[in-house]
Structure 1
């Protein structure tokens, strides 16, 4: 009996050594003078693999925080393991829209995500510090943020995704505290035009940035996603586009993220073979 107990303890101890690791990484943002929490999911073999890991940054929606994705989709741990990647879930503020606000100097989430966070993750963890092994995606506000940040920083991200993204927020001038980020729409139209990712497709050339987007046909952002898809087609920008039954809720996104992580994994593998 003693031998069996000892064997069991040794087994449990060794199993813990190879368990998926979930960290809460606190970063002191110089641009916003505050500490910001982020979840980092590491695959099982993180401590034993010498070569660096690709990283997917996963943005939450309006009203959410850094815990949303893992709380609602605990399968993210399994996906990180299956695809042998690091998944980072940043805190983007409740309604930051992941931009550097032109009217509120305390809101600099573009700088935070695309500079401070990436530098911190690449410093602390064993990552491949190249755009070919870095992707970004998100839902709703985070879908807009992922495209916005990747379009502006194509030297940082090699692939990007949007799930039910608010890709054109101009039809919603009184929603999600957008006026606090961009000013009143009627008086600050230039801010709104410059910061909606709908007007940033011109930054894309050919297939330099690998793109995937999806949206439910019953989603209030569906029309904007269709128009965005049409714009990409008109400019001959390659991308994966998915529309299927679904609304703007957590019944839709757990299925969407599976396809997007597979898309990113294929991108990482293709990039590694170049």
Structure 2
């Protein structure tokens, strides 16, 4: 093969197969609320390693589902590529197998909403070059993590400017048979008020005043699609701006790996919009 032909072949391969140079790290993030540390996966875009202290990045928090852990997203998807593509930091904390990302009234040892929504965010801002504002933070997750992401965003509107849910269990009252859910929510009969208060479908009105960039999707073959449609319909009735989609697929990693690409694009667009609208952008 002559030199010119080899050059063009290499160039073609580079253009059709981009080099992804993101960095993936495992960090231990302490929880004062639960008196222990939990591992988390942090993915940094390639540019992060070449930047200065002045170069800072928005952050997308990705929550795993029931029975999962902090390795799920990176093990089952090509999530790291999105860090490079959209120049964002991705954080995948450990939310316990069946925590539902709430501060449990039934189990005082389970305080995962405080951990993920407050302690993890504070740790990431302290140890990485983030843009530490609500306009540069997003949170999403799948299934139990979809519920958790919306719950945390609703309860902490000053922390997150964007939120999403993928195949989210937005009405935990329809998940009473889920193993372990009663341990954190309490008995559904005796603690019905708490279950009702935490259901995202019952909190749609809060999104009216939260001003959160919102994206929700679910597979048409997913058993959770009905509750997601209900949430969507209530948001429409209230006039709450949001992105909603139903796509072919069920409660599977094939669906989630596809969906997360749309959601991170949504968040990246939200970050750019908020940056353009900030006073500094017009100074």
TM-score of the aligned structures, taking structure 2 as reference length: 0.88
Task: Specify the SS of the correspondent of 1:205.
Answer: helix
Give the number of aligned pairs. 256
Task: Tell me the residue number matched to 1:187.
Answer: 190
Are the equivalent residues in 2 in contact too, given 1:43–1:85 (CA < 8 A)? yes
- Distance in 1, matches of 2:175 and 2:87, equals 39
Q: CA deviation at 1:206?
A: 5.8
Report Cα offsets for 1:14-42 as digits up to 9, x if no partner.
xxxx9421111101211001110000000
Q: Distance in 2 between matches of 1:221 and 1:42?
A: 32
The match for 1:172 is 175
How many Å separate the matches in 1 of 2:210 and 2:172? 25
Larger CA deviation: 171-180 vs 85-94: 171-180
Task: Give the TM-score normalised by the residue count of structure 1.
Answer: 0.91
CA distance in structure 2 between the aligned counterparts of 1:207 and 1:217, rounded to whole angstroms = 28
1:15-164, aligned counterparts within 5 Å? 19-49=21-51, 50-73=54-77, 75-164=78-167
In structure 2, the CA distance between the partners of 1:206 and 1:152, relative to structure 1 (3 Å rule), is closer
SS at the partner of 1:252? helix
* Worse overlay, 166-175 or 89-98: 166-175
Q: Which runs of 5+ in 2 are unaligned?
A: 1-19, 278-283
The aligned counterpart of 1:260 is: 263
Deviation at residue 182 of structure 1 after TM alignment: 1.2
Q: Structure 1: 5+ residue runs without aligned partners?
A: 1-17
Supply the distance in 1 between the matched residues of 2:107 and 2:199 (Cα, whole angstroms): 17
Root-mean-square deviation (CA, aligned residues, Å) is 1.2
Deviation of the 1:248 alpha carbon: 0.5
Q: Shift of residue 202 of structure 1?
A: 2.1
CA contact (8 A) 2:154 2:210 kept: no
Kindly provide the CA deviation profile for residues 159-218 of structure 1, in whole angstroms up to 9, marking residues without a partner as x: 001000000011222213111011111221112111222222221226710000000111
1:13 equivalent in structure 2 = none
- Residues 207 and 238, structure 1, Cα contact 8 Å, conserved in 2: no
Structure 1 Cα separation of the partners of residues 202 and 211 of structure 2: 18
Structure 1 residues 70 and 136, CA gap change in structure 2 (3 angstroms): same
